[in-house]
Amino acid sequence: MDHCHCCSSAFQQVSRRTVLKRAMGLAATALAANMFPLEMLFQSRAQAASNAGKTLVVVFQRGGNDGLNTIVPYSDPQYYVMRPRSTNGGIGILPPGSGDGSGLDLTGSGFAMHPSLLPLHGLYTSNRLAVLPAAGFAGSTQSHFTDQDTIEHGFPEQRDGWLNRYLAAVPAAGSSTLRAAAIGDDVAKSLRGTVLVPSMTDVASFSFARLGSSKAALEANLRAMYAQDPASSTTNPARSSVHALGPELFNRVAAIEGIGAASPQNGAAYPNSTFGREMRDLAHIIRSGLGLEVATVDIGGWDTHDDQGAGGAAANRQAGRLADFSGGIRAFVDDLGPLMNNVVVMTCTEFGRTVRQNASGGTDHGKASAWFLVGGSVKGGVYKGVAGWPSSLTEANLDEGRYIRPTVEFRDIFADVLVKHFGASTAELGAVLPGHVHTPVELFV
Amino acid sequence: MALVKDEQNSMLSKIAESMWLRPGRISVCVALSLWAMQGLYISVYAVYAHEGGTHPVSGSPSASRHSLLKPVRPVDSTLPGVKEGATISPASESGLKPSKKKKAKVTIKTPATESQRSSVIEQTAPAQTKMEESTSGTKPASSIPFGAPAMATMMNGSAAMAAASPSPGSAIAAAAPGALASSVVGGPSTPSNKSIQRLSAGIPGLTRVISTPLPPETIATPAPPLDPPTSGLPAAPANWFGYHVLNRLTFGGTPNQLNTVSHMTAAQARDWATGYMKEQLGLDPAQPWPTNLHSASLLPPANPIVDTDTDLRLAAAQGAWKKDDPEPTVLKPELQQVQDHDLIRKTYSRRQLLEKMVYFWDNHFNTDYRSHFRGQYEVYENQAFRAQAYGRFVDLLIASGKSPAMMVYLNTDVNKKENPNENYAREVLELHTLGVDEQGHPAGYTQADINEAAKAFTGWTVPEGSAPGFRFVSSRHSPGTKTVLGQSVAFDGSGPTEGERVLQILAGHPSTARHLAKKLCEYFVSEAPSSALITEVASVFSDSGGDIRKVLIAIVTSPDFNNVANYRSLVKTPLEYVVGLYRNLGVWSSQEPIRRRLTVAGQGLFEMPPPTGYKEKSDHWLNTHVLFHETAMAYEATIPGFGSTVRFGSDTSAGQTRLWLRNLGLRTESEVLGFLLNLTTDRVATATEYQIYLTTLRSGGGTFNLDNSGTEAALDRTLASMLTNPRYLYQ
């Protein structure tokens, strides 16, 4: 790897400060050895943190995925009352073994997967995929934006992201060039807060190389302008965040320029979609050893108020999104191969949808929905929560007569990941999810 | 320097005006536009007027009536296959014969050139016009001339909408042609003298020749030289208010505007900016601000601003729009064409505040092209917002709710009585009207209101076929009385009035006034507007019945807007950054670079999937991804080879900045820096920044000399550095 670009003085300065602030540890890579004075690399923590080499990828299904047609309670006849079978004109997913468009059985659970989740079904049968059919939280509002914020902030009253609080509370186990990244047009709210986290799309084009002979002078000018004391250059209220951003940009560009283009391994076949490319880039960044610990990726298109469709010949909006979603995750898992032992992918969505389908072949905003985890030491299986899945989807068993009631709280899922995957201490957990009493979901071995 | 007089080249607008709004008639105005690069090309501008009251947005045509409408849509497309100078009679294709010739004078003046010479061309330009009754006998209810190319046409279409609207107070500013804009600002672009002479020589009936692209505007005397500033925090310039108004009420000052302001004293700048604001709001600059903001009494009708040059650019862009298949009477622009059309307006329109408001409304009532894949739906809706941008909020809300783009996007088109679809009902409450509080809780509505409102909207849908419009299907409409926000809405199975009534109830709720007031204050004044300002603006909103022009007057005359503490205090969105860059430099080449950049930066027009629309607040845009693309846009505009070619400067400078500056009479370092810093950061720089620019300026060969060829690259890097200064992120 060629890291000449990153060795400008401003880059070293920022990185050094970052390293010191996070009380850095060992894990001296060749990259770090090039960039940092040796003595800094040996200011290790007493023992290696269990977040060493670990990565969490949070995939957010924006729009409210219909959990009921994702993980389908086909053994409940009432499901087909609320949602007639697709062969009868409804959006009900057919039971396993009913021909075209049948669900994929999650053997022994009474549930089946939407047929478009085929790429994930193999992960389930090999006991690697955790399925939570009724994840959510009490007090959800059925507003996309409010409920997304609650999940990403951890609580309605918090104003910064739970993942950003993690970055602030828990030091990195080693030096990292890119500890966190939001893949997308902007920084996901879960990653916003006191720690500056970069956002990026399309790793291959994140470069200023085409500036040619002007690059050095322009970068030097830009860094010098951003390096001025914000308070003596402008009165703008956003000046501090603005001034941090310029050097951050050039540092990140240098890091990304250094790893080249993605080259998927193990025959991984990513969907030809934005989500597919973003998952491919993420796998590339993880494999390139930049120290990526937390990343977010978004996938949209879940707000299926109409033409939601079912499976097979009845496929429509949701089936296409699920195919992209499951194909991207499966390719990512295949691509990373054994590296997945240190990587957890968790999927979220702000809410599920109304149990009864509406008159336009869709579903409206609901409450609990299906979340997934795969990788690391995640235990495969279906997690129905302590309260369990309703015996039958009659109105009497539903929340307000129309919604799936959440049985696994999302904060408990977060806490399981923090404790079991990142090895967070009780104090650290308290800093990330203040006031939350952790009821373990036991998602990990 | 004198500027082109608009009244002299407003031929199109005058013709349109002369025959506009004749009930039940189709008006067809034919003009010819030709441009040099691709041979000759003929565009047909068709203008479609109709009787008031049947407009699909503000009126309520029945389903059966709409079903008759498809065949009678006007020919309003550029006819294919007429390049290479073919003579064609578009009127005959639409069954109309030219009956009358009209003469119009076109006065064209060259931009500032090396020799500072100017010339005037006068042409006699016959325009074929004809008015005729609709031959089918069917009233054209889908009347917005979404396929009509010129702004003049669109603005008149807007006037039709306003006239058809139930609200007399919704008459819009800048809707009718004929009035003069200030001679100080926003000079129109002028074509190359030679190309006009060459092309016009052999072409009878030539109306106007434009080259592709239009060359730059004439600019006022360049800003004065700027000497090195003293160290420390730079103060706002004395004439800051002139810059402030350009920064906030436009998509960025043009070289002409910025040069003009640069020579002003504080008092002159305030007078000029105040006049500019009044003019942009359709008010008489000679009169004091209106004092009846807190009442339902009407403001004087808005004086229009004529902008023929933008009309011509729009017409040229629209020439490439394809006819729909299988409905050739409908023009179906691709997404990129819709985006370019809108970016042309944002970049060049003289009605800058109107366009700022059109963006505000299009974003407030966000729809996504990819929910319907019909460019004509987005154009139609965009024009409805342009028509009502200064009108009453309730009219905007109804225009949005009944627009086909919104009906498909939020599923109104499939909302049926059996089990109503809640999508639109929820978002109209949460996003378009009452909103949510700081904790994200509904500001005065419940799930029951959503359910009831959803029932009231059942039966609303889009017309059959691909033409934009509205249709009501009574068999889908939910029976019974609905109750929304405690008010009962009586059953009406025969039309869309229940849904309209619901929208009126929402528009009149105090939470709506506050929600809109806050959002507008964040857009124009400050990320954290004072509660006093929000309260005052919300009060004007309520007291005036949602009169947006009054609301805007309340904002721009508020102490907060006029406080220097809010000068350059907002962070630009990517849209404001890239369009502002184009305007600040006077870019006259294609919109394609900024259109592509916006999409990859995450603010592509008409393609925001969630109904929130794009955020205004800086925390959504201050990130590495956005800064990467803004920085890359600055480099693309200035550094050869980094991206596509972006042209600014004079059209005689052959893309050479040093020739442009020399032609402007700029020689010394302080003259060049004074001029360039005026285009980018209102002449504000720290001593450190000034030194960086100076060093960069001298990097072409040790000393600065415009005659030195190495100075070109040095100038490119200097300008790139100004545009990538964090200071340039603010407005």
CB–CB contact A235 B233 (8 Å): yes
- Reply yes or no on whether the pLDDT at B106 is more than 80: no
Which positions in chain B touch A245 (Cβ < 8 Å)? 622-624, 627, 726
pLDDT for A49 equals: 54
- Reply yes or no on whether the pLDDT at B83 is more than 50: no
Return the structure tokens found at B68.
């008759």
Instruction: Answer whether residue B189 is part of any domain.
Output: yes
Instruction: Give me the helices (H) in A288-408, please.
Output: 317-336
Instruction: Answer whether residue B430 is part of any domain.
Output: no
CB contact at 8 A, A294 and A165:
no
How close is the nearest chain A Cα to the Cα of B368, in Å? Answer: 12
Same-domain check for residues B164 and B245: no
Same-domain check for residues B656 and B694: yes
Each residue's pLDDT tens digit, B334-380: 999 999 999 999 999 999 999 999 999 999 999 999 999 999 999 99
Instruction: Answer whether residue B349 is part of any domain.
Output: no
Distance between CA atoms of residues B185 and B353, nearest Å: 13
Chain B interface mutation, best of A179, A202, A213, A364, highest count of B Cβ atoms under 10 Å: A364
Higher per-residue confidence, B499 vs B124? B499
Same-domain check for residues B140 and B245: no
Each residue's pLDDT tens digit, B217-245: 778 899 999 999 999 999 999 999 999 99
- Reply yes or no on whether the pLDDT at B192 is more than 60: no
pLDDT for A186 equals: 84
Instruction: Answer whether residue A359 is part of any domain.
Output: yes
Instruction: Answer whether residue B14 is part of any domain.
Output: yes
For the residues A273-290, what does the mean pLDDT come to? 96
pLDDT for A33 equals: 37
pLDDT for B215 equals: 61
Report the chain B residue with the minimal C-alpha distance to residue A235. Answer: B569
CB proximity under 8 Å: A 303-362 to B: 303, 305-307, 356-362
CB–CB contact B720 A214 (8 Å): yes
Same-domain check for residues B130 and B252: no
Each residue's pLDDT tens digit, B5-50: 333 333 333 333 333 222 333 332 323 332 322 322 223 232 222 3
Instruction: Answer whether residue B471 is part of any domain.
Output: no
DSSP labels, B566-633: GTT-SBPPHHHHHHHHHHHHT--S-SHHHHHHHHHHT--TTB--STT----SGGGT-SHHHHHHHHHH
Query: Scanning the structure block, which residue is given the tokens 């894990």?
Result: A27
* Of the partner residues B420, B426, B436, the one whose CB lies closest to the CB of residue A365: B426
* Of the partner residues B528, B569, B717, the one whose CB lies closest to the CB of residue A217: B717
How close is the nearest chain B Cα to the Cα of A83, in Å? Answer: 13
Which positions in chain A touch B724 (Cβ < 8 Å)? 218, 221-222, 225
Domains identified in chain B, total number = 2
Instruction: Answer whether residue A278 is part of any domain.
Output: yes
Instruction: Answer whether residue A425 is part of any domain.
Output: yes
* Of the partner residues B527, B628, B727, the one whose CB lies closest to the CB of residue A237: B527
Instruction: Answer whether residue A235 is part of any domain.
Output: no
Which positions in chain A touch B622 (Cβ < 8 Å)? 238, 241-242, 245
Helices A9-21 and A239-257, axial angle in degrees (round to 10): 110
For the residues B279-293, what does the mean pLDDT come to? 97
Report the chain A residue with the minimal C-alpha distance to residue B638. Answer: A211
Which positions in chain B touch A305 (Cβ < 8 Å)? 410-411, 421-423
* Of the partner residues B627, B639, B721, the one whose CB lies closest to the CB of residue A249: B627
Which positions in chain A touch B441 (Cβ < 8 Å)? 141, 146
Same-domain check for residues B141 and B31: yes
Chain B interface mutation, best of A215, A245, A363, highest count of B Cβ atoms under 10 Å: A245
Chain B interface mutation, best of A249, A250, A349, A402, highest count of B Cβ atoms under 10 Å: A249
Which domain covers residue A418, as residue numbers? 55-211+263-432
Instruction: Answer whether residue A405 is part of any domain.
Output: yes
Instruction: Answer whether residue B620 is part of any domain.
Output: yes
Same-domain check for residues B198 and B95: yes
For the residues B707-712, what does the mean pLDDT come to? 90
CB contact at 8 A, B471 and B461:
yes
Contacts of B244 (CB under 8 A, 6+ apart): B273, B566, B567, B568
* Of the partner residues A142, A184, A243, the one whose CB lies closest to the CB of residue B726: A243
Same-domain check for residues B253 and B186: no
DSSP secondary structure code for residue B331 in this structure: B
Last residue of a domain, one of B195, B210, B225: B210
Domains identified in chain A, total number = 1
Which positions in chain A touch B368 (Cβ < 8 Å)? none
Most confident of A304-318, B97-111, B303-317: A304-318
* Of the partner residues B430, B625, B727, the one whose CB lies closest to the CB of residue A234: B727
Same-domain check for residues B248 and B99: no
- Reply yes or no on whether the pLDDT at A21 is more than 50: no
- CA nearest to A413, candidates A184, A162, A197, A188: A162
Which positions in chain A touch B627 (Cβ < 8 Å)? 245-246, 249
Instruction: Answer whether residue A239 is part of any domain.
Output: no
- CA nearest to A353, candidates A298, A408, A303: A303
Which positions in chain B touch A359 (Cβ < 8 Å)? 414-421
pLDDT for B438 equals: 86
Report the chain A residue with the minimal C-alpha distance to residue B564. Answer: A235
CB contact at 8 A, A422 and A415:
no
Q: In the 3-class helix/strand/coil scheme, how is B445-460 assigned residue by residue?
A: CCHHHHHHHHHHCCCE
Report the chain A residue with the minimal C-alpha distance to residue B628. Answer: A249
CB–CB contact B724 A156 (8 Å): no
pLDDT for B653 equals: 77
How close is the nearest chain B Cα to the Cα of A443, in Å? Answer: 31
For the residues A122-145, what does the mean pLDDT come to? 96
Each residue's pLDDT tens digit, B260-269: 999 999 999 9
Which positions in chain A touch B643 (Cβ < 8 Å)? 210
CB–CB contact A242 B571 (8 Å): yes
Q: Which DSSP helix (H) or strand (E) runs through A246?
A: helix A239-257
- Reply yes or no on whether the pLDDT at B56 is more than 90: no
CB–CB contact B635 A211 (8 Å): yes
The rounded percent of chain A whose pLDDT value lies above 90 is 82
Query: Please, what's the largest Cα pairwise distance for chain B?
Result: 83
**Which of the four pLDDT bands, split at 50, 70 and 90, describes residue B480?**
very high
pLDDT for B700 equals: 84
pLDDT for B16 equals: 33
Instruction: Answer whether residue A301 is part of any domain.
Output: yes
Higher per-residue confidence, A407 vs B182? A407
Each residue's pLDDT tens digit, B152-182: 333 333 333 333 333 333 322 332 232 223 3
Which domain covers residue B631, as residue numbers? 240-262+571-729
- Reply yes or no on whether the pLDDT at B516 is more than 60: yes
pLDDT for B216 equals: 67
Each residue's pLDDT tens digit, B656-696: 899 999 999 999 999 999 999 999 999 999 999 999 999 99
Instruction: Answer whether residue A223 is part of any domain.
Output: no
For the residues A253-259, what does the mean pLDDT come to? 93
Chain B interface mutation, best of A197, A221, A252, A316, highest count of B Cβ atoms under 10 Å: A221
DSSP labels, B436-503: B-TTS-BSS--HHHHHHHHHHTTTEEPPSSSS---EE-GGGSPPS-EEETTEEE---TTSTHHHHHHH
Report the chain A residue with the minimal C-alpha distance to residue B423. Answer: A305
Same-domain check for residues B593 and B696: yes
* Of the partner residues B410, B441, B628, the one whose CB lies closest to the CB of residue A249: B628
Higher per-residue confidence, B312 vs B124? B312
pLDDT for B637 equals: 96
Same-domain check for residues B708 and B586: yes
Instruction: Answer whether residue B39 is part of any domain.
Output: yes
Same-domain check for residues B183 and B246: no
Each residue's pLDDT tens digit, B126-140: 332 233 233 333 333
Mean residue pLDDT across chain A: 89
- Reply yes or no on whether the pLDDT at B533 is more than 80: yes
Each residue's pLDDT tens digit, B196-222: 333 333 333 333 333 444 566 778 899
The rounded percent of chain B whose pLDDT value lies above 90 is 65
**Which of the four pLDDT bands, split at 50, 70 and 90, describes residue A232?**
confident
**Which of the four pLDDT bands, split at 50, 70 and 90, describes residue A175?**
confident
Instruction: Answer whether residue B342 is part of any domain.
Output: no
Lowest model confidence (mean pLDDT) among A267-281, A392-406, B161-175 = B161-175
Distance between CA atoms of residues A243 and A241, nearest Å: 6
Q: Which DSSP helix (H) or strand (E) runs through B131?
A: strand B127-133
* Torsion angles phi and psi, residue A397, rounded to 5: -90, 0
Question: Tell me, what CATH number does A94's domain have?
Answer: 3.40.720
Distance between CA atoms of residues A197 and A266, nearest Å: 30
How close is the nearest chain A Cα to the Cα of B525, in Å? Answer: 13
CB–CB contact B418 A218 (8 Å): no
Last residue of a domain, one of B189, B210, B231: B210
Which positions in chain B touch A358 (Cβ < 8 Å)? 419-422
Which positions in chain B touch A218 (Cβ < 8 Å)? 635, 639, 717, 720-721, 724
Same-domain check for residues B191 and B253: no
